[in-house]
Structure 1
Amino acid sequence: MALLPLILRIWKLLLVLSLLSTTYVYLYPLFRGCNFQLSKEGEVASFRLLAFGDPQLEGDSSLSSSTTSKSTEPQGWARFKSIISGKELGTQILSHLHVYRKRLDLWGNDRYLAHIYRTTRWFTSPTHTVVLGDLLGSQWMSDAEFEIRAQRFWNTTFSGARPVPDPLFDYEDIAHENSAQWPSTLITVAGNHDIGYAGELDSNTAARFEKRFGRLNWDITFGLENGRLRTLTRNQAAYAEGPRLKLVVLNTMNLDGPALDKELQGDTRRFLNNHVGNAMGQTYLDATVVLTHIPLYKKEAICVDGPLFTHYSTQDGGGIREQNHLTEKSSREILDGLFYYQNTWARSGIVLNGHDHEGCDVVHTRNLRNALPEGNVSRIGEWTSLPHELVHEGGVSRDESVREVTLRSMMGAYGGNAGLVSGWFDRKDRRWRFEYRSCMFGVQHIWWAVHILDLVAGLVGMVVIPLSIWGSASKAHGRSDRAKKNQ
């Protein structure tokens, strides 16, 4: 028992470290100053979008194939003798340890991502939430594995969220205010690891995604009443007076070609063209928020990922196998069709996407007042693209530009990032304004270390506290006995 005082002091130190680190982990948005930007009048933004990129939930397909049966291996008594003789014992132990470690890693990763979602949502109170593609980790998984990962996505990682209700995809007659509980609704965008690139995407892959996560292409319009957004029907949106905000979820996975499934590509093309036509009727009171996965075109060195296209062989259809950006042509269609207003003026809005795990923040403008070095700019038709940090140096006006934010991944290796997009209608300028901020937790090792520390402190406390109480009682009893003898 001579070591008990020392162990007790060590435990108290562990307890203090545990309490401090746990406080940070569960209140990190407070310590990092994570919040939605207020309007110029100091009011809470009407549109507060909490955005995540590329969680990429892995699954059984990432585990070692050693867990599967191998019909070519010796069976029965021959296999037993081989194992006990030591020929395979070491290999088997290492293989199974790897599998269990990977399963533990998957278990922890789901809960790490869930912690990022749950904590930022609780602290920031968004009006809307979106995951910008690559919800799952591989487009090649079986239907059974897809279903397992989808269940983990909804029941663990984004527990408490619900998919967009089907009636909202066809908001023709009535405003589904009862079903449109947007704060608890999770908008999901398709990425290449969910449905594949254009050379891989087929009707079966698209159908299973839409069954569990919602449509690939859809939109919704909100009206602004007393500083709050109200879901509008299609008819209401067409004739509404006053500020309107449109969310456009665009499947860019098959916007470029060649595509494996021409019919699915036609659906995406018609959806985009329809919005290009509708945008012609928009005024300066309107704004568009595009939610997609693949970033718009930029030349090398503007973002971490530069332009990249690979294709399947002619025998395999020649479709797109991989791409980092959209083509310049498709990018121009989006910018010209959805955001060009007149002369050098741009419609209000913002483009949000994922794919590039490092993230990127770019502004597209048709009026770059101050020349910048060629290495700092890229071009899409008449649009000049430049890093957001060079906006002031380039003399770029907010009314003549569109911001594109490629969200840094929420995966642990990239710091558990969350994006905070604020949108409000500036009554003085009579235009929508949008601002973006990042909120990063830290690598997944922090989450693991703190919870392991909590576990160790708890286990040590369960041993030390009873021993300390027992020791104190023994000392008190001894003093009592000595006092009686002295009387």
Structure 2
Amino acid sequence: MALLPLLLRIWKLLFLLSLLSTTYVYLYPLFRGCNFQLSKEGEVASFRLLAFGDPQLEGDSSLPSSTTSKSTGSQGWARYKSIIPGKELGTQILDHLHVYRKRLDLWGNDRYLAHIYRTTRWFTSPTHTVVLGDLLGSQWMSDAEFETRAQRFWNTTFSGAQPVPEPLFDYEDIAHEHSVQWPSTLITVAGNHDIGYAGDLDSNTATRFEKRFGRLNWDITFGLENGHLRTLTRNQAAYAEGPRLKLVVLNTMNLDSPALDKELQGDTRRFLNGHVGNAMGQTYLDATVVLTHIPLYKKEGICADGPLFTHYSAQDGGGIREQNHLTEQSSREVLDGLFYYQNTWARSGIVLNGHDHEGCDVVHTRNLRNALPQGNVSRIGEWTSLPHELVHEGGVSRDESVREVTLRSMMGAYGGNAGLVSGWFDRNDRRWRFEYRSCMFGVQHIWWAVHILDLVTGLVGMVVIPLSFRAASKHGSAVGRTKKNQ
């Protein structure tokens, strides 16, 4: 074949491109330098949290309601052709093609997100992993669709991860050390697309979420022993000496008012107030990590999303329909109650949330030493909020501030982001320290393009390589006959 040498060269080029691009896709944390920050002493951090924001798994609600999978076989098409005029048949065909394209998109999106989770977890070896809300794509889905998406969440997107075991929420005296393997356990926070905002969150959406993903509000305390975290019971945590690290999963979806379900809001309020009371007994050796969904209040211009509140009509209850931030009052309750220590000092800790898909990184302090332009600062009571990049310019001390990181979404449109939170106890300063880094894969088109390239390379190779061997064999036989005749 005259074209065979050309096809072989094309295949070799495809193979080289496929090899290089696939190597990047599956080792991208290495090429992007994604790792948890080491402590000041160069040691691996005791607390390494891999965090994701807003995967928002879509489902049947994203498909055209007028078109389903039925009647798509040969008999179905024959029936359509017999009863539908040509123009309408063309419209039906386009509708069905759109459905198939969307289903393929959902299939690929699940695996794109799974690739990010699997690759970053394998490469960075976290001690804990969390998804900061909006696990699914709509609070209005039916119970059946909720279950379908929950199964996709656990079986495909976060395959291999285990939910936090139910007994862990209520332990008092027995520290279930071997009942939970934190590196393979996935902490899941509720977001507005999972359970709704305060104006539409009810017992039904709360119950189905807790059944598949765990409680809306809970906490766990770890003790530090020989550089490693050990799960403490409530009794142990109350009397433990030495450094302690507390994880607080807080449902901020109904922290503000008006709320549709006052009882559920009361549960959240009592949970937060209980931690405010317990925080009074904490010392400078302790730290708190708050995991939630809605960011704390900032004025317009500090983050991509500014303050926004909309409400249902009075006849529909008047509750909160949408919000970008917590109110200033609720934000102050979180900061004052969980992180204020004394004078201008702040307790060690960090606040992590999602919701704003663009992401944001701010610091809250009670002692801004150097004045900054008013456009760069916001206020929450006695706290001043400013972008993290202005910390040095503002003369902000780590011991007098709390960092709040709003994670950029892990969705393809936002680059497939993962957050790496490092926490360690500084033995010299006698305080916990926390640092944050981002690790981005790239848009979903990269994942699709590389795997399509791999498929094309494989198919072309399946044709070209056998033909090449066959041509080489014929050439060898011809040479042999020529020598024999000579």
Which range, TM-score by smaller chain? over 0.9
Matches of 1:34 and 1:14 in 2, distance apart?
A: 28
* Equivalences for residues 232-251 of structure 1 within 5 A: 232-251=232-251
Matches of 1:2 and 1:70 in 2, distance apart?
A: 48
The answer to whether the Cα contact below 8 Å between 1:289 and 1:349 also exists between their aligned partners in 2 is yes
The answer to whether the Cα contact below 8 Å between 2:22 and 2:450 also exists between their aligned partners in 1 is yes
How many angstroms does 1:70 deviate by?
12
How many angstroms does 1:87 deviate by?
3.1
* Equivalences for residues 181-220 of structure 1 within 5 A: 181-220=181-220
Matches of 1:325 and 1:135 in 2, distance apart?
A: 19
Distance 1:397 1:460, change over 3 A: same
Matches of 1:362 and 1:98 in 2, distance apart?
A: 42
Matches of 2:4 and 2:75 in 1, distance apart?
A: 54
- Quick check: 455-464 or 79-88, which moved more? 79-88
Deviations 1:362-409 (CA, angstroms, capped at 9, x unpaired): 000000000000000000000000000000000000000000000000
How many angstroms does 1:217 deviate by?
0.1
The answer to whether the Cα contact below 8 Å between 2:251 and 2:293 also exists between their aligned partners in 1 is yes
How many angstroms does 1:85 deviate by?
3.6
Q: State the match for 1:118 in structure 2.
A: 118
2:34 partner SS: coil
Q: State the match for 2:39 in structure 1.
A: 39
Distance 1:352 1:458, change over 3 A: same
The answer to whether the Cα contact below 8 Å between 1:47 and 1:423 also exists between their aligned partners in 2 is yes
Matches of 1:294 and 1:459 in 2, distance apart?
A: 47
2:457 partner SS: helix
- Quick check: 380-389 or 69-78, which moved more? 69-78
Distance 1:418 1:486, change over 3 A: same
- Quick check: 205-214 or 77-86, which moved more? 77-86
How many angstroms does 1:173 deviate by?
1.4
How many angstroms does 1:179 deviate by?
1.1
1:93 partner SS: helix
The answer to whether the Cα contact below 8 Å between 2:68 and 2:96 also exists between their aligned partners in 1 is no
2:24 partner SS: helix
Matches of 1:192 and 1:475 in 2, distance apart?
A: 65
Matches of 1:377 and 1:454 in 2, distance apart?
A: 49
The answer to whether the Cα contact below 8 Å between 1:363 and 1:404 also exists between their aligned partners in 2 is yes
* Equivalences for residues 301-380 of structure 1 within 5 A: 301-380=301-380
Deviations 1:286-330 (CA, angstroms, capped at 9, x unpaired): 000000000000000000000000000000000000000000000
2:446 partner SS: helix
Distance 1:76 1:365, change over 3 A: closer
How many angstroms does 1:61 deviate by?
1.1
- Quick check: 115-124 or 87-96, which moved more? 87-96
Matches of 1:73 and 1:154 in 2, distance apart?
A: 31
Matches of 2:196 and 2:401 in 1, distance apart?
A: 31
2:74 partner SS: coil
Q: How many aligned residue pairs are there? A: 482
How many angstroms does 1:107 deviate by?
0.1
How many angstroms does 1:475 deviate by?
5.5
Matches of 1:462 and 1:422 in 2, distance apart?
A: 47
Deviations 1:241-275 (CA, angstroms, capped at 9, x unpaired): 00000000000000001000000000000000000
How many angstroms does 1:194 deviate by?
0.1
Matches of 1:134 and 1:39 in 2, distance apart?
A: 32
1:379 partner SS: strand
Q: State the match for 1:459 in structure 2.
A: 459
Matches of 2:212 and 2:151 in 1, distance apart?
A: 9
2:122 partner SS: helix
2:10 partner SS: helix
The answer to whether the Cα contact below 8 Å between 2:419 and 2:437 also exists between their aligned partners in 1 is yes
Distance 1:479 1:226, change over 3 A: same
1:66 partner SS: coil
The answer to whether the Cα contact below 8 Å between 2:203 and 2:264 also exists between their aligned partners in 1 is yes
How many angstroms does 1:66 deviate by?
2.1
Matches of 1:80 and 1:38 in 2, distance apart?
A: 64
Deviations 1:445-469 (CA, angstroms, capped at 9, x unpaired): 000000000000000000000000x
How many angstroms does 1:483 deviate by?
2.7
- Quick check: 167-176 or 366-375, which moved more? 167-176
How many angstroms does 1:88 deviate by?
1.2
Distance 1:467 1:350, change over 3 A: same
Matches of 2:283 and 2:411 in 1, distance apart?
A: 39
Matches of 1:375 and 1:218 in 2, distance apart?
A: 36
Aligned CA-pair RMSD: 2.4
* Equivalences for residues 112-151 of structure 1 within 5 A: 112-151=112-151
How many angstroms does 1:412 deviate by?
0.2
1:134 partner SS: coil
Distance 1:357 1:69, change over 3 A: closer
1:222 partner SS: strand
Matches of 2:133 and 2:77 in 1, distance apart?
A: 50
The answer to whether the Cα contact below 8 Å between 2:81 and 2:89 also exists between their aligned partners in 1 is no
Matches of 1:271 and 1:203 in 2, distance apart?
A: 17
The answer to whether the Cα contact below 8 Å between 1:361 and 1:404 also exists between their aligned partners in 2 is yes
Distance 1:265 1:475, change over 3 A: closer
How many angstroms does 1:67 deviate by?
1.8
2:14 is aligned with 1:14: yes
Distance 1:367 1:94, change over 3 A: same
How many angstroms does 1:167 deviate by?
1.1
How many angstroms does 1:71 deviate by?
15
Matches of 1:291 and 1:149 in 2, distance apart?
A: 23
Deviations 1:120-155 (CA, angstroms, capped at 9, x unpaired): 000000000000000000000000000000000000
Deviations 1:418-447 (CA, angstroms, capped at 9, x unpaired): 000000000000000000000000000000
The answer to whether the Cα contact below 8 Å between 1:421 and 1:436 also exists between their aligned partners in 2 is yes
Matches of 1:150 and 1:302 in 2, distance apart?
A: 34
- Quick check: 71-80 or 297-306, which moved more? 71-80
Matches of 2:121 and 2:383 in 1, distance apart?
A: 35
Matches of 2:14 and 2:304 in 1, distance apart?
A: 41
1:461 partner SS: helix
Distance 1:65 1:73, change over 3 A: farther
How many angstroms does 1:474 deviate by?
5.6
How many angstroms does 1:478 deviate by?
6.0
Q: Give the structure-1-normalised TM-score.
A: 0.96
Q: State the match for 1:477 in structure 2.
A: 475
Distance 1:117 1:474, change over 3 A: closer
Q: Which runs of 5+ in 1 are unaligned?
A: none
Matches of 1:77 and 1:442 in 2, distance apart?
A: 40
The answer to whether the Cα contact below 8 Å between 2:295 and 2:353 also exists between their aligned partners in 1 is yes
Deviations 1:58-79 (CA, angstroms, capped at 9, x unpaired): 0011101122599999999998
Runs of 4 or more, structure 1, over 2 Å off, are: 68-85, 473-480, 482-487
Q: Give the structure-2-normalised TM-score.
A: 0.96
The answer to whether the Cα contact below 8 Å between 2:68 and 2:99 also exists between their aligned partners in 1 is no
How many angstroms does 1:171 deviate by?
1.9
How many angstroms does 1:486 deviate by?
2.4
Distance 1:88 1:259, change over 3 A: same
Matches of 2:148 and 2:455 in 1, distance apart?
A: 29
Distance 1:319 1:74, change over 3 A: farther
2:86 partner SS: coil
1:428 partner SS: coil
Distance 1:232 1:478, change over 3 A: closer
The answer to whether the Cα contact below 8 Å between 1:82 and 1:88 also exists between their aligned partners in 2 is no
The answer to whether the Cα contact below 8 Å between 2:354 and 2:406 also exists between their aligned partners in 1 is yes
The answer to whether the Cα contact below 8 Å between 2:80 and 2:89 also exists between their aligned partners in 1 is no
How many angstroms does 1:80 deviate by?
4.8
The answer to whether the Cα contact below 8 Å between 1:52 and 1:417 also exists between their aligned partners in 2 is yes
